[in-house]
Amino acid sequence: MPLTIRSASGVHRFTVEVAETADQQEAGLMFVRSLGPDRGMIFPYDPPRNVAFWMRNTLIPLDMVFIRADGTIARIATAKALDETPVWAGEEIAAVLEIRAGRAAELGIKPGDKVEWAH
């Protein structure tokens, strides 16, 4: 599915898988060995909630982009591979986007930027 982030540095397009079911959300990107620069996975939540993510069995480091119901980015956290320390959203969010670690910084994506996808 296409996903777009609009930021001061430009428009950034990604192709993402959607983790819709509880099983898909639990598995996430576990055991994935590589992730393309414009690929990722989105975890939608309806209703929005304060969620925590960890990296159990996740072999690559990831940026976690926490997205509010209005589509703005609340925060971005970089998580280390295999780290089981919970990474909390810190507020109620409507989705979490996982992309390759460091990609948000490479593209100049920051909190307050707008994320758009068909949901």
Q: What is the pLDDT of residue 44?
A: 97
pLDDT at 119 over 80: no
pTM for this prediction: 0.95
* Digit-coded pLDDT (tens) for 17-52: 999 998 899 899 999 999 999 999 999 999 999 999
Summary mean pLDDT of the chain: 96
Report the percent of the chain where pLDDT is more than 90.
94
Residue 54's Cβ-side half-sphere holds a number of Cα atoms within 13 Å equal to 7
Mean pLDDT across 46-73:
97
Q: What is the pLDDT of residue 105?
A: 98
CATH class of 2-117: mainly beta
Q: Which of 42, 77, 83 lies closest to 63, judged by CA?
A: 77
Euclidean distance between CA atoms 48 and 36, whole angstroms: 28
Mean pLDDT across 62-81:
98
Euclidean distance between CA atoms 39 and 47, whole angstroms: 25
Q: Which residue has the higher pLDDT, 118 or 65?
A: 65
**Domain spans of the chain, in order of start:** 2-117
- Residue ranges of E strands in the chain: 2-7, 10-18, 39-49, 52-53, 62-67, 73-79, 87-88, 93-100, 114-117
